[in-house]
Amino acid sequence: MTDRPDGGDGGALSALLHETRRFEPPADFAARANARPGIYEEAAADPEAWWARQAEHLTWDHHWDRVLDWEEPSARWFAGGRLNAAYNCVDRHVEAGHGGRVAFHWVGEPEGDIRTITYADLQAMVCRAANALVELGVEAGDRVMIYLPMIPEAVVAMLACARLGAPHSVVFGGFSAEALAARTLDADARVAITADGGYRRGATSALKPNLDEALERCPAVRSVLAVRRTGQEVAWKEGRDVWWHDVVDRQSDRHEAASFDAEHPLYLMYTSGTTAAPKGILHTTGGYLVHTATTHRLVFDIKPDEDVYWTAADIGWVTGHSYIVYGPLANGATSVLYEGTPDAGGRDRWWRIIEEYKVSILYTAPTTIRTLMKWGEDLPAAHDLTSLRLLGSVGEPINPEAWMWYRRHVGGDRCPIVDTWWQTETGGILIAPLPGITATKPGAAMAALPGVSVDVVDGDGNPVGNGEGGYLVVDRPWPGMLRGIWGDPERYRQTYWSRFPGRYFAGDGAKKDEDGDLWLLGRVDDVMNISGHRISTTEVEHALVSHPQVAEAAVVGASDPTTGQGIVAFVTVKGDAAQSDEEGAALVVALRETVASAIGPIAKPRQILLTPELPKTRSGKIMRRLLRDVAEHRELGDVTTLVDPTVVNMIDGKMQSAETAGED
């Protein structure tokens, strides 16, 4: 952890706190909003009773006995209750007469490649997939890996697992074979679901070949179910690999959903921590579904029979799990599911999708908003975006410029913006304005949701006053909270519940402004946020030092105008490796590839600087704080604890000359 509770932003974000613009909820929005005045007071009066009332929106096979059993750090929500998550997301809507409602308008990356999937269709697809998984020997409790592009089968596969009580572990398609293998081994999965490949800006990318490579290290995986998406040639292992269209399509479209304990594991989602090993965040069934459905209903104001909702994120991240799959489907919403990048088929692709499907609610990340901003306001202006009524943001702090651009050029100055703070660990949104109730400020996530209690504390755990910053903590258990780190209860306790006893430590810096409203300031630990994706500095350092010519590596996240943060690596080489400029340049290229194959292309450093030495304290600790100053072109902080203070000046000089030489 750094010693800077302001998130180490060097004061840039603190300047935001002088923001004076305020946007009141539009009266017509407020008149029809799902969140009613008084909701905060009502929830605060008895949070557990309030969550229990939200839980009544789901269909339970057996009612819970107690709302919460809490023995820090272990929570059981809706203890004794039983339900099936897939039944709640699909079947019950069909049984209620909404089978003809569209669940997904799926838009493939190639133009014209579209599918419309109603709730009745989804029910049949999920039942067939569940029957196929049973045929492959999947039983309740078995972990199933999912490594798929953004195609309907990804949602179907997740729900089929949920239906069987087999926790899924979805790995983002951009992760490498090595990263996939580590996750598969940690989860001890026996079955994996993939596709031959996926589309990315017109080109096809390989998925099954990566999985095949990963599985060389995972002999316990006995079945691979593969969707044919791109039609590319793929290797085939007889006895292990089967095609989705061979095995799933011939199954019955009926399947009886069993009910599971509210605390039955629903899924694992691996995320980066401060050490090299990613942690398998465990979510369970009842509380998670209550949390995602409730927050989706209140924060996104969903009206299932009117809205067209679009979370423009990948299913491989928690945002896709909670706000493409579980929350929207539990609420019976109609969503857009888009396979590609914002510029696939032209930089106006998003605006065309919104216009065509009359999208009313859009949820995306600041990094994407900044990219769209760079492409210019003429593109959104050329399309009819008047169907939009609400905009959301997630993944990193949103800068006021991006917020204002989003409001004006996408939301036509009429749509409320909800800046939503949460994490893989929290399962769902914890901090956000409620549209129709909360006046918003550009860049502020504003306040904890009803039923949620957060605070900002100093290093000793004392709440800070208004106008001050510190560490974000959550004071009370919440239904969507992680139940643990897969296979590592001690790491769970240590990471989240030891820094401030009795409170959940989020790892984020935050400030309360003069009005007591909350501003999130970014991570205070060694986790970077690259385009809204969490990557640990340690993970990248491990990848770099795995290269035979590297002696030591230090990695920092430096602020970046588009991606939020960019990865900058400082590397020392062994012996007489890479002495000439040419050898150095070749090594830098090789190192970027090493990182891509260890983690994935998303983790490739923006810049790698080869240096004879790294700045160290007398106890041998690398001073990353100073390297961050270097990477962000700031005046260097305190260098007195260094063994050799000249080292950092030397690196600073090297950095500057590298940049003038255009090596960046």
Per CB under 6 A, residues contacting ligand WTA are 271, 317-319, 394-397, 419-424, 445, 506-508, 520, 522-523, 529, 534
Q: Which helix (H) or strand (E) holds 520?
A: strand 518-523
Cα–Cα distance between 339 and 72 in angstroms, integer? 41
Cis previous bond, 73, omega within 30: yes
**What minimum distance in Å lies between the beta carbon of 319 and ligand WTA?**
5
Least CB distance from residue 180 to ligand WTA, whole Å?
Answer: 18
Mapped to the 3 state alphabet, what secondary structure does 159-187 carry? HHHHHHCCCEEECCCCCCHHHHHHHHHHH
Cα 161 from Cα 143, distance rounded (Å): 9
If the CB atoms of residues 397 and 600 are measured against ligand WTA, the closer one turns out to be: 397
Q: Which is nearer to ligand WTA, 565 or 611 (CB)?
A: 565
Residue type, 517: D
Cβ 508 to ligand WTA shortest distance, Å: 5
Query: What's the longest Cα–Cα distance across the chain?
Result: 73
CA–CA dist 175, 543 (Å, integer)? 14
Least distance in Å: CB of 357 to ligand WTA? 24
CA distances to 55, 151, 214 from 232, in Å: 45, 16, 19
Q: Are 474 and 506 in contact (CB under 8 A)?
A: yes
SS3 431: strand
* Contact between 142 and 190 (Cβ < 8 Å): yes
Strand partners, 279: 271
Calpha distance 51→476 (Å, rounded):
13
Q: Taking the complex as a whole, how short is the minimal distance between the CB of residue 110 and ligand WTA, in angstroms?
A: 29
How near is the Cβ of 615 to ligand WTA at its closest, in Å? 26
What residues form DSSP beta bridges with 512? 518
Nearer Cβ to ligand WTA, position 123 or 565? 565
Nearest CA among 256, 249, 317, 331 for reference residue 289: 331
Alpha-carbon gap, residue 507 to 457, rounded angstroms: 12
Beta strands in 561-611 (DSSP E): 564-573, 607-610
Task: Specify which residues 448 forms β-bridges with.
Answer: 431
Are 314 and 147 in contact by the 8 Å Cβ rule? The answer is: no
Q: How far is the CB of 624 from ligand WTA (least distance, A)?
A: 17
Q: Which is nearer to ligand WTA, 228 or 491 (CB)?
A: 491
Rounded Cα distance, 96 and 162, in Å? 21
- Choose among 391, 475, 482, 390: nearest CA to 428: 482
Residue 45 has a CB neighbour count (10 Å cut-off) of 9
* Residue among 223 and 536 whose Cβ is closer to ligand WTA: 536
Q: Where are the beta strands (DSSP E) in 53-153?
A: 66-71, 74-79, 82-83, 102-107, 114-118, 144-147
Nearer to ligand WTA among residue 419 and residue 629 (C-beta): 419
Beta carbon nearer to ligand WTA, 153 or 455:
455
The CB-of-396 to ligand WTA minimum distance in angstroms stands at: 5
Residue 436 C-beta: closest distance to ligand WTA, Å: 19
463, two tokens: 């709440």
Give 154 or 313: the residue with its C-beta nearer to ligand WTA.
313
From CA 87, how far away is CA 135, in angstroms rounded? 20
The token pair at 96 is 């209620």
Alpha-carbon radius of gyration of the chain? 24
Report the SS3 class of residue 568.
Answer: strand
Residue 505 C-beta: closest distance to ligand WTA, Å: 11
> What type of residue sits at position 626?
L
Nearer to ligand WTA, 155 or 506 (CB): 506
> Is the CB of 371 or the CB of 565 nearer to ligand WTA?
565
Q: Is 334 or 424 the residue whose CB approaches ligand WTA more closely?
A: 424
As a whole number of angstroms, the distance between CA 106 and CA 7 comes to 38
Which lies closer to ligand WTA via its Cβ, residue 271 or residue 292? 271
Q: Which residue, 88 or 271, is less far from ligand WTA as judged by CB?
A: 271
* Residue 120, both tokens: 């009745």
Q: In whole angstroms, what is the distance from residue 242 CA to residue 314 CA? A: 25
The residue among 181 and 445 lying less far from ligand WTA, judged by its C-beta, is 445
Output 423 or 440, the one with its CB closest to ligand WTA.
423
**Shortest Å, Cβ 445 to ligand WTA:** 5
Cα(343)–Cα(348) distance, integer angstroms: 7
Query: Which residue number, 99 or 522, has a Cβ lying nearer to ligand WTA?
Result: 522
For the chain, how are helix, strand and coil distributed in percent, rounded to 5?
A: 35, 25, 45
d(CA 14, CA 307): 37
